[in-house]
Amino acid sequence: MSGRASQIRFRAWGITFESLGRDGYAAWDATPENGKAQILGIVGLLEILGESAIKPHYMAGGTPGKIPLLWDPLGFTAKLSSEVLAEKRVSELKNGRLAMIGVISLVSAHFIPNSVPLLP
């Protein structure tokens, strides 16, 4: 999930809601309790699906990233051969890893000025 989450984080970097401001901790404090419950509930559900509902677990020989309803909910890959599908999964892993590097670069540039040469 870190690769997929990082892809979203990288695209969403810098987007703010005027009502919440730019300080993440203050924004969390300003979030209504029901909103916090929804966020934590969805994250918890995804963790349960990813860690316990899929057999075999990816650390025990299962397929990394294979989460029901999340890999291909519309069936776009149903007609692909197993070789092409494996290639697409590797591509998704590589994109996720690159997004993680991108997020770390953005965070580094935010906290350490001039640490990433191409970012302002």
Distance CA 80, CA 86 (A): 10
Number of compact structural domains in the chain: 1
Residue 65's pLDDT is 62
With respect to residue 36, please indicate whether it lies within any of the assigned structural domains. Answer: yes
For position 53, what pLDDT does the model report?
67
Spell out the SS3 assignment of the chain: CHHHHHHHHHHHCCCCECCCECCHHHHHHHCCHHHHHHHHHHHHHHHHHHHHHCCCCHHHCCCCCCCCCCCCCCCCCCCCCHHHHHHHHHHHHHHHHHHHHHHHHHHHHHHCCCCCCCCC
pTM beyond cutoff 0.75: no
Question: pLDDT value at position 37?
Answer: 97
- The pLDDT assigned to 86 comes to 86
Domain range for residue 10? 2-111
Under-50 pLDDT residues of the chain: 1
Structural domain contains residue 49: yes
Q: Is 45 contained in some domain?
A: yes
pLDDT of residue 67: 63
Q: Is residue 91 part of a domain?
A: yes
In a domain, residue 63? The reply is: yes
Does the residue 118 lie in any domain?
no
